[in-house]
A = this chain, B = another copy of it.
């Protein structure tokens, strides 16, 4: 029997959003529950079940649903488990795909959020038709999903694609939540941009619109808005961030020779302010054969739906 819909669940540290999606990438219905308030995984799933069941009923019941795809922090595609996620309330290894399959009676697949975004982009977004690309998610952290020969790279253990934790600054780099220093994530995430803003404002006497904002609450959005007004320090912040990101992308190109690198998440809203230095510094650091040849582009998924779409895309691939 033909099952026309899938469920996409995007689990964040605070909220979990989910929806029913058709084969063309339309989100037919969506809703949300809190993640952080449930210290017991069973209660969380009960809550999710109560809300999601309504959407499933409205779509025609379980018989219409091919599968459930979940994007979750530290989600492991191979094991279906959420493994030691620092930003979730449940410790250790949670067999989330199995618990969901049992509760809903619908086959469930799980991966991390950046991998889900990459699959979403390949099925519904800017990477349609591409066999080789790298998705970089620029949010609170920096995540990545790598596609080679049309397939997501999970690696030996299911944890491939942690490009946010490659080292950008080898000596005296910023401390990262992972325990290392100098990780790409500490510079190229939205939080990294805010850190750069604070450092640059500290080190410089230059006037800046950003000085009107308390240093601790400057966001990458504030930097963008200042850049739009021609603020010199704001432009320098994006140049600095773009340089570090572009240099990192050059190394990623040397690894898998992708057709394109696709940027997703809050920071990508900075548009050309961030894109131009990224592309310039990437091209300055690749072998001659790749100069000017690797596309760098923004996600084409509508932001409000992107996380649900990405997670849902995984469900089409359930065998």
A166 CB–B CB distance under 8 Å: yes
Most chain B CB neighbours (cut-off 10 Å) among A131, A178, A251, A289: A251
Other-chain residue from B132, B156, B161 in contact with A155 (beta carbon distance below 8 A): B132
Name which residue of chain B comes closest to A161, CB basis: B255
User: Which residues of chain B are near A132, meaning CB under 8 Å?
Assistant: 155-156
The answer to whether the Cβ of A211 comes within 8 Å of any Cβ in the partner chain is: no
Q: Are A257 and B157 in contact (CB under 8 A)?
A: yes
In the complex, A259 has a CB within 8 A of chain B:
yes
B159 and A257 within 8 A (CB)? yes
Which A288-319 residues have C-beta < 8 A from chain B?
Answer: 288-290, 293
Minimum distance in angstroms from A93 CB to a CB of chain B = 12
The reply to whether A255 and B160 contact each other, CB–CB distance below 8 Å, is yes
Question: Which of B148, B166, B178, B251 lies in contact with A153, CB distance below 8 A?
Answer: B148
The reply on A227 being an interface residue by CB < 8 A is no
Contact between B255 and A170, CB atoms less than 8 A apart: no
Give Cα A153–Cα B254 distance, bound, in whole angstroms.
11
Q: Which B residues touch A151, using CB under 8 A? A: 149
CA distance A288 to B84 in the complex (A): 11
A170–chain B nearest beta-carbon distance, Å: 7
When A146-B255, A151-B149, A153-B256 are in contact, do A289 and B170 touch as well, CB less than 8 Å? no
Q: Mark A153-174, 1 if CB is under 8 A from B, else 0.
A: 1111111111101110110000
Tell me the smallest distance from the CB of A187 to a CB of chain B, in Å.
12
A91 within 8 A of B: no
Given contacts A84-B289, A178-B287, contact A251 B167 (CB under 8 A): yes
Give Cα A179 to B291, complex, Å. 12
Q: Which of A255-294 contact B (CB under 8 A)?
A: 255-259, 285, 287-290, 293
The answer, yes or no, to whether A252 is at the interface (CB within 8 Å) is yes
- The answer to whether residues A160 and B285 also contact, given A247-B167, A251-B166 and a CB cut-off of 8 A, is no
Please tell me if the beta carbons of A255 and B255 are within 8 angstroms of each other in the complex. yes
A257 touches B149 (CB 8 A): no
B158 touches A257 (CB 8 A): yes
Question: Which residues from chain B contact A38 at a C-beta distance below 8 Å?
Answer: none
Nearest CB of chain B from residue A88's CB, rounded to whole Å: 15
List which A82-106 residues lie within 8 A (CB) of chain B. Answer: 83-84
Q: CB of A54 within 8 A of chain B? A: no
> Which residues of the partner chain B approach A178 to less than 8 Å between Cβ atoms?
287-288
Q: Report B-chain residues with C-beta under 8 Å of the C-beta of A170.
A: 169-170, 247
A72 within 8 A of B: no
A34 to chain B, nearest CB (A): 27
Q: A287: which B residues are within 8 A, CB to CB?
A: 159, 162, 165, 178, 180
Tell me, yes or no, whether A250 is within 8 Å of chain B by CB: yes
A294 CB to closest chain B CB (Å) equals 8
Ordered by A's residue number, 6 sampled pairs between the chains whose C-beta atoms are within 8 Å are: A155-B257, A162-B254, A166-B251, A170-B170, A178-B288, A180-B285
